[in-house]
Structure 1
Amino acid sequence: MSRSLSIAERKEGAEALGPRIRDRRRALGLTLNEVAIGSGLSVGFISQIERGITGPSLSSLLAISRVLAVDISYFLSQPAADGPSTRHDQRVSYGVGNAQRSYERLSAAFAGSTLSGLIIHEPPGVNDIRMSHEGEEMLYVLDGALTVDLGGNLIVLEAQDSIHFAGSTPHTWWNHTDKATTMLWVGTFDVFGGRPAEGQSERAMAKIRGRRPRAARKSRPTN
Protein backbone atom coordinates (compact mmCIF):
# COMPACT_ATOMS: atom_id res chain seq x y z
CA MET A 1 0.00 0.00 0.00
CA SER A 2 1.33 3.46 -0.89
CA ARG A 3 2.16 6.08 1.73
CA SER A 4 0.01 9.23 1.59
CA LEU A 5 1.28 12.68 2.49
CA SER A 6 0.04 13.91 5.85
CA ILE A 7 -2.68 16.54 6.17
CA ALA A 8 -0.01 19.03 7.29
CA GLU A 9 2.13 18.29 4.23
CA ARG A 10 -0.85 18.69 1.88
CA LYS A 11 -1.87 21.96 3.57
CA GLU A 12 1.66 23.35 3.32
CA GLY A 13 1.77 22.53 -0.39
CA ALA A 14 -1.63 24.14 -1.02
CA GLU A 15 -0.67 27.35 0.77
CA ALA A 16 2.60 27.64 -1.17
CA LEU A 17 1.34 26.85 -4.68
CA GLY A 18 -1.09 29.73 -5.27
CA PRO A 19 1.24 32.56 -4.19
CA ARG A 20 4.14 31.10 -6.19
CA ILE A 21 2.04 31.05 -9.35
CA ARG A 22 0.80 34.59 -8.72
CA ASP A 23 4.30 35.93 -7.96
CA ARG A 24 5.76 34.34 -11.09
CA ARG A 25 2.93 35.69 -13.26
CA ARG A 26 3.38 39.21 -11.92
CA ALA A 27 7.16 39.01 -12.33
CA LEU A 28 6.57 38.34 -16.04
CA GLY A 29 4.07 41.20 -16.28
CA LEU A 30 1.20 38.91 -17.28
CA THR A 31 -2.47 39.31 -16.40
CA LEU A 32 -4.76 36.48 -15.37
CA ASN A 33 -6.45 36.75 -18.75
CA GLU A 34 -3.15 36.33 -20.60
CA VAL A 35 -2.22 33.24 -18.60
CA ALA A 36 -5.70 31.88 -19.33
CA ILE A 37 -5.22 32.45 -23.08
CA GLY A 38 -1.80 30.82 -23.12
CA SER A 39 -2.77 27.80 -21.01
CA GLY A 40 -6.25 27.17 -22.39
CA LEU A 41 -7.72 27.42 -18.89
CA SER A 42 -10.29 29.90 -17.60
CA VAL A 43 -9.54 33.16 -15.78
CA GLY A 44 -11.77 32.11 -12.88
CA PHE A 45 -10.02 28.76 -12.50
CA ILE A 46 -6.53 30.32 -12.44
CA SER A 47 -7.70 32.98 -9.98
CA GLN A 48 -9.05 30.27 -7.66
CA ILE A 49 -5.72 28.42 -7.83
CA GLU A 50 -3.79 31.58 -6.95
CA ARG A 51 -6.09 32.23 -3.98
CA GLY A 52 -5.86 28.64 -2.75
CA ILE A 53 -9.57 27.98 -3.28
CA THR A 54 -8.97 25.04 -5.61
CA GLY A 55 -6.04 22.98 -6.80
CA PRO A 56 -5.15 22.11 -10.41
CA SER A 57 -4.54 18.70 -11.92
CA LEU A 58 -1.00 17.88 -13.00
CA SER A 59 -1.97 18.60 -16.62
CA SER A 60 -3.41 22.01 -15.71
CA LEU A 61 -0.35 22.93 -13.64
CA LEU A 62 1.89 21.89 -16.53
CA ALA A 63 -0.06 24.19 -18.89
CA ILE A 64 0.32 27.10 -16.45
CA SER A 65 4.03 26.37 -15.98
CA ARG A 66 4.64 26.58 -19.71
CA VAL A 67 3.01 30.00 -19.95
CA LEU A 68 5.12 31.16 -17.03
CA ALA A 69 8.26 29.73 -18.71
CA VAL A 70 9.32 27.44 -15.87
CA ASP A 71 9.51 23.71 -15.32
CA ILE A 72 6.59 22.18 -13.40
CA SER A 73 9.06 21.36 -10.62
CA TYR A 74 9.28 25.13 -9.93
CA PHE A 75 5.81 24.87 -8.37
CA LEU A 76 5.56 21.24 -7.29
CA SER A 77 7.97 18.77 -5.72
CA GLN A 78 7.09 15.26 -6.89
CA PRO A 79 8.56 11.88 -5.92
CA ALA A 80 11.81 11.13 -7.70
CA ALA A 81 12.22 8.20 -10.07
CA ASP A 82 14.82 6.09 -8.26
CA GLY A 83 14.91 3.23 -10.75
CA PRO A 84 13.03 1.36 -13.47
CA SER A 85 10.63 -0.35 -11.04
CA THR A 86 8.36 0.80 -8.21
CA ARG A 87 7.02 -1.07 -5.17
CA HIS A 88 3.39 -0.71 -4.13
CA ASP A 89 4.31 -0.35 -0.46
CA GLN A 90 6.98 2.29 -1.12
CA ARG A 91 5.28 4.69 -3.53
CA VAL A 92 4.17 8.06 -2.12
CA SER A 93 0.62 9.25 -2.80
CA TYR A 94 0.61 13.02 -3.32
CA GLY A 95 -1.62 15.81 -4.58
CA VAL A 96 -1.36 19.22 -6.23
CA GLY A 97 -2.17 22.09 -3.89
CA ASN A 98 -5.45 21.39 -2.13
CA ALA A 99 -6.91 19.32 -4.98
CA GLN A 100 -8.61 16.16 -3.74
CA ARG A 101 -7.24 14.00 -6.56
CA SER A 102 -4.05 12.12 -5.63
CA TYR A 103 -1.28 10.47 -7.64
CA GLU A 104 1.36 7.76 -7.44
CA ARG A 105 4.33 8.00 -9.77
CA LEU A 106 5.07 4.89 -11.86
CA SER A 107 7.39 6.02 -14.66
CA ALA A 108 11.16 6.26 -14.53
CA ALA A 109 13.42 9.03 -15.84
CA PHE A 110 16.10 8.26 -18.41
CA ALA A 111 17.54 9.77 -21.57
CA GLY A 112 15.07 9.60 -24.44
CA SER A 113 12.07 8.69 -22.27
CA THR A 114 8.75 9.87 -23.73
CA LEU A 115 6.17 8.27 -21.40
CA SER A 116 4.80 9.49 -18.08
CA GLY A 117 2.85 7.00 -15.96
CA LEU A 118 0.69 7.46 -12.88
CA ILE A 119 -1.89 5.78 -10.73
CA ILE A 120 -4.63 8.35 -10.13
CA HIS A 121 -7.04 8.16 -7.21
CA GLU A 122 -10.17 10.08 -8.20
CA PRO A 123 -12.65 10.96 -5.42
CA PRO A 124 -16.36 11.34 -6.23
CA GLY A 125 -17.45 14.54 -7.92
CA VAL A 126 -14.02 15.99 -8.77
CA ASN A 127 -14.09 17.59 -12.22
CA ASP A 128 -11.19 19.34 -13.92
CA ILE A 129 -11.59 21.99 -16.61
CA ARG A 130 -11.65 20.72 -20.21
CA MET A 131 -8.31 21.19 -21.95
CA SER A 132 -6.20 20.11 -24.93
CA HIS A 133 -2.46 19.73 -25.47
CA GLU A 134 0.18 17.87 -27.45
CA GLY A 135 0.80 14.13 -27.29
CA GLU A 136 -1.42 11.20 -26.36
CA GLU A 137 -3.16 9.91 -23.25
CA MET A 138 -4.48 6.52 -22.18
CA LEU A 139 -6.63 5.66 -19.16
CA TYR A 140 -7.32 2.20 -17.76
CA VAL A 141 -9.83 1.96 -14.91
CA LEU A 142 -8.53 -0.33 -12.18
CA ASP A 143 -11.44 0.08 -9.78
CA GLY A 144 -14.65 2.12 -9.82
CA ALA A 145 -16.04 4.08 -12.76
CA LEU A 146 -15.38 7.28 -14.68
CA THR A 147 -17.09 9.57 -17.18
CA VAL A 148 -14.80 10.93 -19.90
CA ASP A 149 -15.77 13.98 -21.96
CA LEU A 150 -13.84 13.56 -25.20
CA GLY A 151 -14.59 16.35 -27.63
CA GLY A 152 -18.13 16.64 -26.26
CA ASN A 153 -18.76 12.89 -26.49
CA LEU A 154 -19.48 11.42 -23.03
CA ILE A 155 -18.00 7.95 -22.49
CA VAL A 156 -18.58 5.94 -19.31
CA LEU A 157 -15.73 3.65 -18.30
CA GLU A 158 -16.01 0.91 -15.69
CA ALA A 159 -13.40 -1.38 -14.13
CA GLN A 160 -11.10 -2.92 -16.79
CA ASP A 161 -12.30 -0.45 -19.46
CA SER A 162 -9.80 1.82 -21.20
CA ILE A 163 -9.61 4.82 -23.52
CA HIS A 164 -6.76 6.12 -25.72
CA PHE A 165 -6.92 9.51 -27.43
CA ALA A 166 -4.97 12.40 -28.92
CA GLY A 167 -4.30 15.15 -26.40
CA SER A 168 -5.34 17.73 -29.02
CA THR A 169 -8.97 16.62 -28.59
CA PRO A 170 -10.55 18.75 -25.81
CA HIS A 171 -11.10 16.44 -22.86
CA THR A 172 -11.78 16.07 -19.17
CA TRP A 173 -13.10 13.36 -16.87
CA TRP A 174 -14.81 12.93 -13.53
CA ASN A 175 -15.91 10.26 -11.10
CA HIS A 176 -19.71 10.20 -11.37
CA THR A 177 -20.13 7.62 -8.58
CA ASP A 178 -20.20 7.93 -4.79
CA LYS A 179 -17.04 5.85 -4.33
CA ALA A 180 -13.38 6.48 -5.14
CA THR A 181 -12.09 5.47 -8.57
CA THR A 182 -8.54 4.27 -9.21
CA MET A 183 -7.02 4.36 -12.69
CA LEU A 184 -3.78 3.89 -14.56
CA TRP A 185 -2.83 6.96 -16.63
CA VAL A 186 -0.13 7.03 -19.31
CA GLY A 187 0.76 10.06 -21.43
CA THR A 188 3.45 11.16 -23.86
CA PHE A 189 4.03 14.55 -22.26
CA ASP A 190 6.13 15.32 -19.22
CA VAL A 191 4.06 15.87 -16.06
CA PHE A 192 7.09 15.42 -13.80
CA GLY A 193 9.53 17.96 -15.23
CA GLY A 194 13.06 17.63 -16.50
CA ARG A 195 12.41 16.85 -20.17
CA PRO A 196 12.66 19.58 -22.84
CA ALA A 197 9.33 21.31 -23.45
CA GLU A 198 9.98 21.47 -27.22
CA GLY A 199 8.84 25.04 -27.73
CA GLN A 200 5.65 24.77 -25.68
CA SER A 201 6.37 27.97 -23.72
CA GLU A 202 7.03 29.84 -26.97
CA ARG A 203 3.75 28.60 -28.46
CA ALA A 204 1.84 29.62 -25.33
CA MET A 205 3.34 33.11 -25.49
CA ALA A 206 2.48 33.33 -29.20
CA LYS A 207 -1.18 32.81 -28.27
CA ILE A 208 -0.95 35.67 -25.80
CA ARG A 209 0.77 38.02 -28.25
CA GLY A 210 -1.89 37.25 -30.82
CA ARG A 211 -4.62 38.42 -28.43
CA ARG A 212 -2.86 41.50 -27.03
CA PRO A 213 -3.87 44.97 -28.24
CA ARG A 214 -1.29 46.65 -30.46
CA ALA A 215 -0.40 49.19 -27.81
CA ALA A 216 1.53 47.16 -25.26
CA ARG A 217 0.62 47.62 -21.63
CA LYS A 218 3.18 49.56 -19.65
CA SER A 219 1.70 49.24 -16.18
CA ARG A 220 2.22 46.20 -14.00
CA PRO A 221 -0.86 43.97 -13.74
CA THR A 222 -2.84 44.38 -10.55
CA ASN A 223 -5.04 41.27 -10.75
Structure 2
Amino acid sequence: MTENASNVIARGAEAPPLGDRLRQRRKALKMTLQEVADEAGFSVGFISQIERGITVPSLTSLIAVCRTLKVEAGSFLNPPKVATPFTRREHRPIYGLGQQGGNAVSYERLSASFPGNVLRSTIIHEPPGHRSEPMSHEGEEIFFILKGALTLEVDGEPMVLEAGDSAHFPSLRVHTMWNHTGEPTTILHTCTMDVFGDGEPSGSPTDSLAVTRAENRLDATDNGMSNKDMGNRR
Protein backbone atom coordinates (compact mmCIF):
# COMPACT_ATOMS: atom_id res chain seq x y z
CA MET A 1 0.00 0.00 0.00
CA THR A 2 1.35 3.37 -0.96
CA GLU A 3 -1.04 5.59 1.02
CA ASN A 4 -0.82 6.37 4.72
CA ALA A 5 -3.89 5.53 6.81
CA SER A 6 -4.22 9.19 7.71
CA ASN A 7 -4.93 10.01 4.06
CA VAL A 8 -8.46 8.65 4.17
CA ILE A 9 -11.09 10.03 1.82
CA ALA A 10 -14.16 11.82 3.17
CA ARG A 11 -15.59 13.69 0.16
CA GLY A 12 -12.76 16.19 0.03
CA ALA A 13 -11.37 18.64 2.55
CA GLU A 14 -13.88 21.29 1.58
CA ALA A 15 -16.88 19.20 2.62
CA PRO A 16 -18.48 19.92 6.03
CA PRO A 17 -17.72 17.35 8.75
CA LEU A 18 -19.76 14.16 8.65
CA GLY A 19 -21.48 14.92 11.98
CA ASP A 20 -22.57 18.40 10.87
CA ARG A 21 -24.10 17.06 7.68
CA LEU A 22 -25.97 14.31 9.50
CA ARG A 23 -27.28 16.84 12.04
CA GLN A 24 -28.44 19.16 9.24
CA ARG A 25 -30.25 16.29 7.55
CA ARG A 26 -31.90 15.20 10.82
CA LYS A 27 -33.13 18.73 11.52
CA ALA A 28 -34.38 19.08 7.94
CA LEU A 29 -36.55 16.01 8.59
CA LYS A 30 -37.57 17.46 11.97
CA MET A 31 -36.44 14.33 13.76
CA THR A 32 -35.11 14.20 17.31
CA LEU A 33 -31.97 12.37 18.36
CA GLN A 34 -34.18 9.84 20.13
CA GLU A 35 -36.22 9.17 16.98
CA VAL A 36 -33.11 8.62 14.87
CA ALA A 37 -31.57 6.38 17.52
CA ASP A 38 -34.72 4.28 17.91
CA GLU A 39 -35.22 3.76 14.19
CA ALA A 40 -31.57 3.08 13.41
CA GLY A 41 -31.19 0.75 16.39
CA PHE A 42 -28.52 2.70 18.27
CA SER A 43 -28.28 4.60 21.51
CA VAL A 44 -28.99 8.34 21.70
CA GLY A 45 -25.46 8.84 23.01
CA PHE A 46 -23.96 7.15 19.95
CA ILE A 47 -25.93 9.34 17.50
CA SER A 48 -25.03 12.44 19.51
CA GLN A 49 -21.33 11.53 19.48
CA ILE A 50 -21.41 11.12 15.70
CA GLU A 51 -23.04 14.52 15.22
CA ARG A 52 -20.51 16.19 17.54
CA GLY A 53 -17.57 14.55 15.80
CA ILE A 54 -16.54 12.57 18.87
CA THR A 55 -17.17 9.21 17.19
CA VAL A 56 -16.67 8.17 13.57
CA PRO A 57 -19.16 5.39 12.71
CA SER A 58 -18.30 2.24 10.84
CA LEU A 59 -19.60 1.84 7.30
CA THR A 60 -22.44 -0.42 8.40
CA SER A 61 -23.42 1.95 11.21
CA LEU A 62 -23.42 4.89 8.81
CA ILE A 63 -25.67 3.02 6.40
CA ALA A 64 -28.18 2.29 9.18
CA VAL A 65 -28.26 5.97 10.17
CA CYS A 66 -28.56 7.10 6.55
CA ARG A 67 -31.51 4.79 5.96
CA THR A 68 -33.26 6.39 8.90
CA LEU A 69 -32.48 9.85 7.49
CA LYS A 70 -33.57 8.76 4.00
CA VAL A 71 -30.30 9.71 2.36
CA GLU A 72 -27.71 7.69 0.42
CA ALA A 73 -24.66 6.74 2.46
CA GLY A 74 -22.56 7.27 -0.65
CA SER A 75 -23.12 11.01 -0.34
CA PHE A 76 -21.07 11.02 2.89
CA LEU A 77 -18.04 9.11 1.65
CA ASN A 78 -16.13 8.48 -1.51
CA PRO A 79 -14.99 4.85 -1.58
CA PRO A 80 -12.97 3.94 -4.66
CA LYS A 81 -14.96 2.39 -7.48
CA VAL A 82 -13.47 -0.76 -8.95
CA ALA A 83 -13.58 0.22 -12.62
CA THR A 84 -11.45 -2.72 -13.79
CA PRO A 85 -11.61 -6.34 -12.64
CA PHE A 86 -8.02 -6.34 -11.34
CA THR A 87 -6.79 -4.44 -8.29
CA ARG A 88 -3.06 -4.29 -7.62
CA ARG A 89 -2.05 -4.09 -3.98
CA GLU A 90 0.17 -1.04 -4.53
CA HIS A 91 -2.66 0.83 -6.27
CA ARG A 92 -5.41 0.04 -3.78
CA PRO A 93 -6.32 3.27 -1.91
CA ILE A 94 -7.16 3.49 1.77
CA TYR A 95 -10.37 5.32 2.63
CA GLY A 96 -12.59 6.00 5.61
CA LEU A 97 -15.06 8.37 7.19
CA GLY A 98 -12.94 10.84 9.14
CA GLN A 99 -9.57 12.49 9.52
CA GLN A 100 -8.44 11.09 12.88
CA GLY A 101 -4.97 9.84 12.00
CA GLY A 102 -4.01 6.66 13.82
CA ASN A 103 -7.35 6.57 15.70
CA ALA A 104 -9.46 6.23 12.55
CA VAL A 105 -10.71 2.95 11.13
CA SER A 106 -9.62 2.69 7.50
CA TYR A 107 -10.69 0.39 4.69
CA GLU A 108 -9.33 -1.10 1.48
CA ARG A 109 -11.90 -2.12 -1.08
CA LEU A 110 -11.42 -5.57 -2.64
CA SER A 111 -14.70 -6.42 -4.38
CA ALA A 112 -15.87 -5.22 -7.78
CA SER A 113 -19.36 -4.15 -8.84
CA PHE A 114 -21.37 -5.90 -11.53
CA PRO A 115 -25.01 -7.00 -12.14
CA GLY A 116 -26.00 -9.71 -9.68
CA ASN A 117 -23.08 -8.97 -7.35
CA VAL A 118 -24.03 -9.54 -3.69
CA LEU A 119 -20.63 -9.79 -1.96
CA ARG A 120 -18.80 -6.73 -0.61
CA SER A 121 -15.31 -7.34 0.64
CA THR A 122 -12.87 -5.03 2.41
CA ILE A 123 -9.69 -5.13 4.42
CA ILE A 124 -10.35 -3.26 7.66
CA HIS A 125 -7.56 -1.63 9.66
CA GLU A 126 -8.83 -1.42 13.23
CA PRO A 127 -6.82 0.86 15.58
CA PRO A 128 -6.13 -0.12 19.20
CA GLY A 129 -9.11 0.38 21.49
CA HIS A 130 -11.65 1.01 18.74
CA ARG A 131 -15.11 -0.42 19.44
CA SER A 132 -18.08 -0.53 17.09
CA GLU A 133 -21.65 0.09 18.21
CA PRO A 134 -23.84 -3.07 18.56
CA MET A 135 -26.04 -3.47 15.51
CA SER A 136 -27.97 -5.90 13.34
CA HIS A 137 -28.97 -5.76 9.68
CA GLU A 138 -29.94 -7.97 6.77
CA GLY A 139 -27.60 -10.48 5.14
CA GLU A 140 -24.58 -12.36 6.42
CA GLU A 141 -20.88 -11.66 6.98
CA ILE A 142 -17.50 -13.27 7.46
CA PHE A 143 -14.57 -11.97 9.49
CA PHE A 144 -11.06 -13.36 8.92
CA ILE A 145 -8.25 -12.01 11.09
CA LEU A 146 -5.16 -11.32 8.99
CA LYS A 147 -3.06 -9.71 11.71
CA GLY A 148 -3.48 -9.01 15.42
CA ALA A 149 -6.53 -9.95 17.48
CA LEU A 150 -10.15 -8.85 17.84
CA THR A 151 -12.99 -9.42 20.26
CA LEU A 152 -16.18 -10.23 18.37
CA GLU A 153 -19.45 -10.28 20.31
CA VAL A 154 -22.53 -11.92 18.79
CA ASP A 155 -25.82 -11.86 20.69
CA GLY A 156 -23.95 -10.84 23.83
CA GLU A 157 -21.43 -13.68 23.68
CA PRO A 158 -17.81 -12.42 23.28
CA MET A 159 -15.12 -14.43 21.54
CA VAL A 160 -11.48 -13.53 20.96
CA LEU A 161 -10.33 -14.08 17.37
CA GLU A 162 -6.61 -14.21 16.60
CA ALA A 163 -4.66 -14.21 13.34
CA GLY A 164 -5.93 -17.05 11.16
CA ASP A 165 -9.31 -17.33 12.96
CA SER A 166 -12.63 -16.58 11.28
CA ALA A 167 -16.31 -16.10 12.09
CA HIS A 168 -19.38 -16.43 9.83
CA PHE A 169 -22.88 -15.53 11.01
CA PRO A 170 -26.24 -14.06 9.95
CA SER A 171 -26.04 -10.27 10.26
CA LEU A 172 -29.48 -10.16 11.91
CA ARG A 173 -27.77 -11.36 15.08
CA VAL A 174 -26.72 -8.37 17.18
CA HIS A 175 -22.97 -7.99 16.80
CA THR A 176 -20.16 -5.67 17.74
CA MET A 177 -16.39 -5.84 17.64
CA TRP A 178 -13.50 -4.10 19.33
CA ASN A 179 -9.74 -4.18 19.24
CA HIS A 180 -8.92 -5.02 22.84
CA THR A 181 -5.16 -4.99 22.17
CA GLY A 182 -2.56 -2.24 22.07
CA GLU A 183 -1.74 -2.90 18.40
CA PRO A 184 -3.65 -2.38 15.13
CA THR A 185 -5.71 -5.32 13.88
CA THR A 186 -6.16 -6.16 10.19
CA ILE A 187 -9.37 -7.92 9.17
CA LEU A 188 -10.65 -9.37 5.92
CA HIS A 189 -14.39 -8.67 6.01
CA THR A 190 -16.97 -9.90 3.51
CA CYS A 191 -20.70 -9.21 3.75
CA THR A 192 -23.84 -8.96 1.63
CA MET A 193 -24.77 -5.44 2.77
CA ASP A 194 -24.13 -2.64 0.25
CA VAL A 195 -21.46 -0.84 2.25
CA PHE A 196 -20.09 0.96 -0.81
CA GLY A 197 -23.26 2.67 -2.05
CA ASP A 198 -22.52 1.60 -5.62
CA GLY A 199 -26.08 2.04 -6.81
CA GLU A 200 -26.90 0.27 -10.07
CA PRO A 201 -23.92 -1.94 -10.98
CA SER A 202 -22.48 -1.77 -14.47
CA GLY A 203 -20.76 -4.39 -16.58
CA SER A 204 -21.57 -7.98 -17.35
CA PRO A 205 -21.95 -10.82 -14.83
CA THR A 206 -20.36 -13.17 -17.38
CA ASP A 207 -17.02 -11.39 -17.76
CA SER A 208 -16.49 -9.69 -14.38
CA LEU A 209 -13.50 -10.69 -12.26
CA ALA A 210 -11.64 -9.04 -9.39
CA VAL A 211 -8.10 -10.17 -8.57
CA THR A 212 -5.89 -8.64 -5.89
CA ARG A 213 -2.14 -9.29 -5.76
CA ALA A 214 -0.53 -9.54 -2.31
CA GLU A 215 3.13 -10.24 -1.57
CA ASN A 216 2.72 -11.08 2.08
CA ARG A 217 -0.31 -13.33 2.35
CA LEU A 218 -0.80 -14.67 5.88
CA ASP A 219 -0.30 -18.39 6.35
CA ALA A 220 -2.30 -19.47 9.41
CA THR A 221 0.04 -22.41 9.97
CA ASP A 222 2.87 -19.95 10.64
CA ASN A 223 0.98 -18.85 13.73
CA GLY A 224 0.39 -22.36 15.03
CA MET A 225 -3.34 -22.12 14.35
CA SER A 226 -3.97 -25.66 12.96
CA ASN A 227 -7.41 -26.84 14.14
CA LYS A 228 -7.59 -25.07 17.49
CA ASP A 229 -11.04 -24.99 19.07
CA MET A 230 -12.33 -21.40 19.06
CA GLY A 231 -14.27 -22.04 22.22
CA ASN A 232 -11.02 -22.23 24.19
CA ARG A 233 -10.48 -18.47 23.68
CA ARG A 234 -13.72 -17.25 25.23
Name the TM-score class by shorter chain.
0.7 to 0.9
User: Match for residue 124 of structure 1?
Assistant: 128
Measured in 1, the distance between the counterparts of 2:180 and 2:15 equals 25
Q: TM-score of the superposition, structure 2-length normalised? A: 0.78
Alignment check: 8 A CA contact 2:124 2:187 kept: yes
Q: 1:9 to 1:185 in 2, by over 3 A?
A: closer
Q: Residue type of the partner of 1:46?
A: I
Q: Does 1:187 align with 2:191?
A: yes
Percent sequence identity is 52
Q: Does 1:96 align with 2:97?
A: yes
Alignment check: 8 A CA contact 1:4 1:92 kept: no
Measured in 2, the distance between the counterparts of 1:168 and 1:8 equals 29
SS in structure 1 of the partner of residue 196 of structure 2: coil
Deviation at 1:85, TM superposition (A): 2.3
Q: Does 1:138 align with 2:142?
A: yes
Q: Does 1:147 align with 2:151?
A: yes
Q: 1:13 to 1:56 in 2, by over 3 A?
A: farther
Deviation at 1:131, TM superposition (A): 0.6
Q: 1:6 to 1:141 in 2, by over 3 A?
A: closer
User: Match for residue 71 of structure 1?
Assistant: 72
Deviation at 1:15, TM superposition (A): 5.1
Alignment check: 8 A CA contact 1:13 1:96 kept: no
Q: TM-score of the superposition, structure 1-length normalised? A: 0.82
Q: Does 1:113 align with 2:117?
A: yes
Measured in 1, the distance between the counterparts of 2:51 and 2:123 equals 26
Alignment check: 8 A CA contact 1:149 1:155 kept: yes
SS in structure 2 of the partner of residue 138 of structure 1: strand
RMSD between aligned alpha carbons? Answer: 2.0
User: Match for residue 3 of structure 1?
Assistant: 3
Deviation at 1:4, TM superposition (A): 3.2
Deviation at 1:96, TM superposition (A): 1.3
Q: Residue type of the partner of 2:79?
A: Q
SS in structure 2 of the partner of residue 147 of structure 1: strand
User: Match for residue 214 of structure 2?
Assistant: none
Measured in 2, the distance between the counterparts of 1:148 and 1:96 equals 22
Q: 1:181 to 1:166 in 2, by over 3 A?
A: same
Question: Aligned pair count?
Answer: 196
Worse-matched range after superposition: 160-169 or 78-87? 78-87
Measured in 1, the distance between the counterparts of 2:178 and 2:189 equals 14
SS in structure 2 of the partner of residue 89 of structure 1: helix
Deviation at 1:78, TM superposition (A): 1.3
Deviation at 1:14, TM superposition (A): 8.9
User: Match for residue 26 of structure 2?
Assistant: 25
User: Match for residue 212 of structure 1?
Assistant: none
| Unaligned 5+ runs, structure 1 | 197-223
Q: 1:110 to 1:59 in 2, by over 3 A?
A: same
Q: 1:12 to 1:49 in 2, by over 3 A?
A: farther
